[in-house]
Chains A and B, each alone.
Chain A
Amino acid sequence: MLYSLTTWLNANFDSLSWLRLFSYITFRAILAALTAFIMALFFGPPLIRWLKKCGSTDLAWGFGLVNVQSKSGTPTMGGILILATIISSTLLWCDLSNRFIQLLLSAAIWFGCIGALDDYLKLKHKSKAGLSEKKKILSQVGFGILLSLIYLHPDLSPVPMNIATKLFVPFFKNPIADMDYAYGLFIIFVVVAISNSVNLADGLDGLAIVPSFFVAGVFGAFSYVIGNTVLAQYLLFDYMPGSGEILIFCAAMIGSGIGFLWYNAYPAQIFMGDTGSLALGGLLGTIAILIKQEFLFVIAGGVFVAEAATVFLTKYIYVPRGKRFFFRAPLHHSLQYRGLAETKVVIRLWIVAALLALFAATALKIR
């Protein structure tokens, strides 16, 4: 909104020509990050009080791990704060006519609603069973289908049709395959997989949020390069007009994430719940699709991939055969089981996530 206002003022009043500053994506990205951060900082305490008043507090699960029990009573559904600040900041600083931004806002709302419903049901029934796994996956698939339909429609897609269905892999200049309409199924898979992987990582204070904004940072850098004619040409990317705006959205995610971490850092005063984790995952999945860097998530979001892999292998491969391969699943519980304190597990996984994000960023140049 502010972007539209400053553009209009700049165009109509000569004395306000300095407002052209707001046309720069990087400048708006900084403002978006700061806005989201300050809003999260400001609205955090009242939200914590309100959630507590509504009885939206976490229950003690019987995982047999120490800190899980001592955390009962901490307000959950803090994802509301993350989503509200991301959306507000985006509305203020992004070009709302941009199709990429419209799709990302839809993803935020869609996944936020799924997560909120899941959290609400858990609290209502006072049990771990919220929305059933089947319903959760189906609702995620629903968004995947919608995204596929828009993405593959020549008039609606923000992505140029000549590259829309091509499969790009980090460190390779050229696409490795053209999936044609099968790309629609791939979109559904990517969105569901990434969304759930972030959801699974959300088990310790600050564990999901920090790697999320590392990934958002990497995706932001890629989207800026891909949306800039000079940089895209120089770094041999296929230019995608308008994708630079995604940087502003990613910046809002980072600002919001840091603001949320202020309260979510150990010992957490608030948890993001599925409202936050599913939404963050859904957003990262959607960004990965929109900037055609689906496989980059495997590197940049390596921590999430590892968390999901341990759960998948344990649940679907090892336990049905009557044994365990990892001490526990997801990965962070396995590390705790080895006798590492929660803070140590979280900080080590942050370090790993940071290194993976740096490595992923090298894919900008090494191609």
Chain B
Amino acid sequence: MNRDTDGDCDRAMVFLSIIKKNLDGKARLKAAEKRLTDAKNGEWLSDTDDWIREMLKHDNWQIRNVAVKLIGEGKKSEFTEVLTNFLTDGSQAGFVRRNSAISLYTFDSVEDTVIRAFFVGLDDPYWEVRTECALGLSLHGVADASMTASLIAKIYRKPIDRIPGYPIFWPKRIYREKNFEVRAALLRALGSVLDNPELMHALEIPLSEDIWKVREAALDAFVRAARRLRYPGDRIKSLLMGMDLTCTEFIPTFPIRRTFKQLTGSDNTPSVPEDGITYHAL
């Protein structure tokens, strides 16, 4: 009888401790999110660095995630090693890996270890991590032959010299990367690291992509690489003249809002980003 009662008490205690832990976790997450909001508003508390150090070890991935975001917000490059480890650690939650990549590329400059981590991240099973790693490379990558070869291999299924010029009947079949967002980010990265004018074909092919966001990324990458590599002007012109500039998105304009803005010098609504979409990563 006593043993049963003891057992019931133990179970109740375990149950209560689980509830308490859950409530503590929720309160801590709320506090962490508040700290992040404050940081975004320019209010960086003096103990934040210590707090980040502690929270990076927390069991709850959501709290670790906030700590990772805070590192990026404060551009705390002393945490580079932790972020690099998080990015390449497959056991971390997808959002933690993704935000590690974002925080890393917000730093003004990054070490080679970070570039290597971005490359590792390009093979991540989670597409948002691949996207952010590619964007990291587009921001911090420098012209390099091995990087160029590696990126081309990640974008295309076969060597680019075996891919004909457009039109291709089933264009998607030529790509290794099926996710359009990752593909666009990889092209941007290629635009930063491409080192050989003979490989420009890799950026010409997607200028006729079906998805305009990929086309746009290819255009951006192509122009950046062409300028850097002093690609022949007439070739650039002929390629760009044949490019499909129509797209499935447009920005609506309310003429009365424009008039209101002109007359009052202000608009009571937030401005619309120029490209129509706020890219969360850029």
Binding site for B on A (CB under 8 A): 60, 64-67, 69-70, 72-73, 267, 321-324, 327, 336-341, 344
B216 to chain A, nearest CB (A): 9
**Considering the chains assembled together, what is the distance between the CA atoms of A344 and B269 in angstroms?**
24
- Chain A residue, CB-CB nearest to B278: A64
Instruction: Tell me the chain B residues, 223-282 only, with Cβ under 8 Å from chain A.
Output: 247-252, 254, 257, 268-270, 272-273, 276-278, 280
Pairwise interchain contact A72-B252, C-beta atoms closer than 8 A? no
Q: Which residue among A64, A65, A66, A341 has the maximum number of chain B CB atoms within 10 Å of its CB?
A: A66
Question: A323 and B269 in contact (CB under 8 A), knowing A339-B213, A339-B247?
Answer: no
- CB neighbours of B33 from chain A (8 A): none
Cα A324 to Cα B257 in complex, Å, equals: 36
12 contacts between A and B (CB under 8 A): A66-B276, A66-B277, A70-B254, A70-B257, A72-B268, A322-B92, A322-B93, A323-B126, A336-B277, A339-B212, A339-B248, A341-B248
A67 to B280, CA, bound (A): 16
A341 with B250: CB separation less than 8 A: yes
Q: Are A338 and B211 in contact (CB under 8 A)?
A: yes
A-B complex: 7 closest residue pairs judged by Cβ atoms:
A322-B93, A323-B94, A64-B278, A339-B213, A66-B276, A322-B95, A341-B249
Shortest distance from the beta carbon of B42 to any chain A beta carbon, whole Å:
18
Tell me the smallest distance from the CB of B88 to a CB of chain A, in Å.
16
> In the bound complex, do residue A322 and residue B61 qualify as a contact, i.e. CB atoms below 8 Å apart?
yes
Contact of B213 among A69, A72, A267, A338 (CB under 8 A): A338
Q: Is the CB of A70 within 8 A of B128?
A: no
Name the prevailing secondary structure of the B interface residues.
loop
In the complex, the chain A residue whose C-beta lies closest to that of B93 is A322
Which B33-83 residues have a C-beta within 8 angstroms of A?
A: 61-62, 65
Known contacts A64-B277, A73-B269, A321 near B128 by CB under 8 Å = no
Report the separation of the CA atoms of residues A67 and B92 in the bound assembly, to the nearest whole angstrom.
35
Chain A residues lying within 8 Å of B62, measured Cβ to Cβ, are: 322
List B contacts of A344 (CB < 8 A): 248
B187 at the interface (CB under 8 A from A): no
Q: A338-B213, A339-B212, A339-B248 are in contact. List 11 more A-B contacts (CB 8 A).
A: A60-B270, A70-B254, A322-B94, A322-B95, A323-B93, A323-B95, A324-B94, A327-B181, A338-B211, A340-B248, A341-B250
**A69 pairs with B277, CB closer than 8 A:** no
B100 to chain A, nearest CB (A): 12
* Most chain B CB within a 10 A radius of its CB, from A73, A322, A340: A322
* Contact bitstring B84-103, A, C-beta under 8 A = 1, else 0: 00000000111110000000
Question: Which single residue of chain B is at the shortest CB-CB distance from A73?
Answer: B269
Closest CB-CB distance, A347 to chain B, in whole Å?
11
Q: Is B175 an interface residue (CB 8 A)?
A: no
On chain B, the residues within 8 Å of A341 by CB distance are 248-250
CA distance A325 to B211 in the complex (A): 19
CA distance A344 to B248 in the complex (A): 7
CB nearest to B251 among chain A residues: A66
Q: Knowing A322-B65, A323-B95 touch, does A66 contact B211 (C-beta < 8 A)? A: no
CB distance from B282 to the nearest CB of A (A): 12
